[in-house]
Amino acid sequence: MNIIFENDDFLVVDKPSGQVVNRSETTAGETLQDKLSKYFKLAPGDLGIGGRAGIVHRLDRETSGLLVIAKTQKVFELLQEEFKSRIVTKEYVALVHGFFGEKSGTIKSRIARIGKFGKFGILKDREVGGREAETEYKTISNFKLQISNFEKIIVAQGYNRSRVRYLDQHALDYTLLRVFPKTGRTHQIRVHFKSIGHPVVSDLIYTPSKLIKFDLLWCGRLFLHSRRLCFFGPKPKKTFDFKSDLPNDLKHAMLSLTTSH
């Protein structure tokens, strides 16, 4: 468990991709909650602060980056209220398919569980239910997959002409984004960018099947990282601002790209 900061009130961890945050009956392997239970030396059956070892918010299994953990019930409730009131600054880095014409934008929609297999989607205006979700974004830079890497993959996989034409249209252009979710819905960032035709690279759930297999050959996991958390601490009530560098696996994936002007 990578703890980057700790005081009497909370600690901040940098979660690796692949680690589940909250334990459940269906979860295999050690979760972050399990690790925290050991760290806090909780007795068997003691779920700790908030009934989940102080975990205030969560990240998807595939997403890496920053999480804040409360060490007292008072701080747990305070931080939960800050998240609920949308005064916490959350910033992610995401690499998505395609180029953006605008430098910044906002996606607003209602998100709900759609069908089976834990997928979420956007509800149409006439559909009832769902929860309002809002995501702001700013472009960092546009990139292209290096032609040498593209051709190497095409040859190695033995793709037919139809697949090559599809990939030539959909698997060469990318945009690196700073993403600021104003709400905290499950899969929010992933669903929102899928809804506007720019799925996150290597998203096993929301990237089209023809693309995901190609993505994984040069980027082995979801390209989504929680890089910044900024919130108010309880005593003294001052601002805490934490940042996390892009993990090495995502830095390595970026080597397959070249800047597009």
17-33 residue pLDDT tens: 999 998 776 677 788 98
- Give strand ranges (E) for 171-223: 173-181
Among candidate residues 14, 19, 3, 1, the one with its CA nearest the CA of residue 221:
19
Which sequence positions are flagged as catalytic? 60
Find all residues with CB under 8 Å of 78, minimum gap 6, and list them: 70, 234
Q: Which amino acid is at 238?
A: K
CATH of domain 90-229+243-261: 3.30.2350.10
- The CATH architecture that domain 1-85 belongs to is 2-Layer Sandwich (3.30)
The SS3 of residue 243 is strand
Find all residues with CB under 8 Å of 160, minimum gap 6, and list them: none
Residue 32 and residue 21 in contact, taking contact as beta carbons nearer than 8 Å = yes
Say whether 90-229+243-261 and 1-85 share the same fold: yes
What does DSSP assign to residue 202?
Answer: T
Among candidate residues 19, 20, 1, 22, the one with its CA nearest the CA of residue 11:
1
Q: Where are the domains of the chain?
A: 1-85, 90-229+243-261
DSSP string, 164-182: HHHHHHHSSEEEEEEEEES
DSSP H/E element including 238: none
Among candidate residues 210, 99, 196, 101, the one with its CA nearest the CA of residue 145:
99
How far apart are the C-alpha atoms of 59 and 175, rounded to whole Å? 22
How far apart are the C-alpha atoms of 256 and 108, rounded to whole Å? 32
pLDDT at position 126 is: 61
How far apart are the C-alpha atoms of 199 and 98, rounded to whole Å? 9
What does DSSP assign to residue 247?
Answer: P
The b-or-e profile of 26-46 (16+ CB within 10 A means b, else e) is eeeeebbbbebbebeeeeeee
Low-confidence ranges of the chain (pLDDT < 70): 25-26, 116-118, 124-130, 236, 261
Q: What is the pTM of this model?
A: 0.89
pLDDT at position 127 is: 64
